[in-house]
Amino acid sequence: MLLDLSEEHKEHLAFLPQVDSSGQETRQRRVVFCGLGKEAEGARVSHDVLASVAVVAEFGRIAVEFLRRGSNPKIYDGAARKLNVSRDTVQHGVEGLTYLLTESSKLMISELDFQDSIFVLGFSEELNKLLLQLYLDNRKEIRTILSELAPDFPSYHSLEWRLDVQLASRSLRQQIKPSVTIKLHLNQNGDRNTQVLQTDPATLLHLVQQLEQALEEMKTNHCRRVVRNIK
């Protein structure tokens, strides 16, 4: 499966390989260069490409850190100053990388599909390799973070009930119509969701009976065996 990158997304990412060629002073470039560490030594590639790769590696690190701990806007300002570009450019670059990583991780796309997907961005081979490595190194952790972020299925929180008897209505006087009103509290994505429902006595007894069967089923040998043996 290939990733579908929007035009806006491609624009944001397009910043990445251009970082080195945006008229920086030599000194600044060296600072970035040294930040990459020992892997850069001995590499027989041009300084330009290496600087770009170094910057992207740094952005990648920032992106993963943001996924772990939430975004920190001050980092954008620092990086923007160092690279002599606008804060927005930095922000878009990091966000573009973040989105690239989360989408790829969510869909668990293969190496080949990832490479084909970013091919459209027209980056250098080194940059593509870096992005792929960034993806492979971090996707497991990103998937864990994503799964914690979106529990979509509502879950039971609690239940309130009330017994009502309808005595009359517009259509019929002198009634005795018992009903049970239930307020069901559910949790969804951290929010509380409330449903107000009603039922009649016969259905209530039926509900209790059915759900007790579910509880009974948990006590059977079959269920006990499964729960015991699969951790």
Partner 1 sequence: MELSEYVQKGFQMLADPGSFDSNAFTLLLRAAFQSLLDAQADEAVLDHPDLKHIDPLVLKHCHAAVATYILEAAKQRADKSTLSTYLEDSKFDRERTELFCTEYQNNKDSLEILLGSIGRSLPHITDVSWRLEYQIKNTDPRSHPEISFSCNMEQLQDLVGKLKDASKSLERATQL
Measure CA 7 to chain center.
21
Nearest to 16 by CA among 72, 74, 77, 98: 98
Nearer to partner 1, 87 or 185 (CB): 185
Q: Does 151 bind partner 1 (CB under 8 A)?
A: yes
Nearest to 13 by CA among 117, 152, 155, 110: 117
- What contacts 171, CB < 8 A, 6 or more positions away? none
Q: Does 108 bind partner 1 (CB under 8 A)?
A: no
The number of residues that bind partner 1 (CB under 8 A) is: 53
As measured in angstroms, the least distance from the Cβ of 53 to partner 1 is: 35
Of all helices (H) and strands (E), which one includes residue 194? strand 191-199
Nearest to 193 by CA among 153, 146, 162: 153
121 three-state secondary structure: coil
As measured in angstroms, the least distance from the Cβ of 30 to partner 1 is: 46
What part of residues 154-173 is at the interface with partner 1 (CB under 8 A)?
A: 154-156, 158-161, 163, 169-173
- Candidate ranges 82-90, 95-103, 120-128, 217-225; the one touching partner 1 (CB under 8 A): 217-225
As measured in angstroms, the least distance from the Cβ of 224 to partner 1 is: 11
Segments in 84-200 forming alpha helices (H): 87-107, 111-119, 125-149
Q: Does 147 bind partner 1 (CB under 8 A)?
A: yes
Q: Does 4 bind partner 1 (CB under 8 A)?
A: no
Segments in 19-46 forming alpha helices (H): 26-36
Q: Does 226 bind partner 1 (CB under 8 A)?
A: yes
56-95 footprint of partner 1 as x/- string (CB under 8 A): ----------------------------------------
Does residue 51 contact residue 20 with C-beta atoms inside 8 Å?
yes
Whole-angstrom Cα distance, residue 156 to residue 192? Answer: 10
Binding residue for partner 1, selected from 22, 34, 178, 194, defined by CB under 8 A: 178
- Summarize as ranges the residues that interact with partner 1 (CB under 8 A): 147, 150-156, 158-161, 163, 169-175, 177-182, 184, 186, 195-201, 203-208, 210-215, 217-218, 223, 226-227, 230
